[in-house]
Amino acid sequence: MSAAVCPCGSGRLYAGCCGRLHAGETAPDAESLMRSRYSAYVLGREDYLMATWHPATCPATLDTDAMPRPQWLGLAVKSHIPLDDSHATVEFVARYKLNGRAFRLHETSRFERLNGRWLYVDGAIRESGGAPL
């Protein structure tokens, strides 16, 4: 995967983009963390998703290997709003297919920086379903 374009849509190579964060580098901001979490969903990196989830809202399991798995098609970041030094929101649209049907996940996610690390807190889904790609 290191020579491939990053799944997050940045246009950069995976190794120099989300790959650095998946390898343990700290995300510099909430948008970078959100992009790396999208890439982790694409790559099935449940370990990374759990490690970057706020402990107050982290589920016990994610079951990213459940069948059928979504086929992630792309990510568009709509906005990244730093609220203060430790809180931010990121609005995004992620497109995927499940059982041949196209879906859009439009979410505004909340992030908090704890002990110098950005973590995903939760998100408000704006629309979801079989919207045309």
- Name the DSSP class of 45: -
Mean per-residue pLDDT, 44-57: 95
Name the residue with tokens 């079951």.
63
Tens of pLDDT, residue by residue over 72-104, are: 999 999 999 999 999 999 999 999 999 999 999
Which CATH number goes with the domain that contains 57? 3.10.450.50
What is the SS3 assignment for 62? coil
Note whether residue 7 is domain-resident.
no
Structurally, the chain folds into a number of domains equal to 1
> Which residue range forms the structural domain that includes residue 78?
14-129
Note whether residue 101 is domain-resident.
yes
Cβ contact 25:46 at 8 Å: no
What token pair was written down for 49?
Answer: 């998703």
Note whether residue 37 is domain-resident.
yes
**In terms of pLDDT, which residue wins out, 2 or 90?**
90
Q: What is the pLDDT, as a whole number, of residue 92?
A: 97
Note whether residue 2 is domain-resident.
no
**Considering only 38-42, 48-52, 86-90, 99-103, which range has the smallest mean pLDDT?**
99-103
* Per-residue pLDDT at 130 exceeds 60: no
What token pair was written down for 83?
Answer: 């609220």
Note whether residue 24 is domain-resident.
yes
Question: pLDDT exceeding 90 applies to what percent of the chain?
Answer: 81
Q: What is the pLDDT, as a whole number, of residue 114?
A: 97
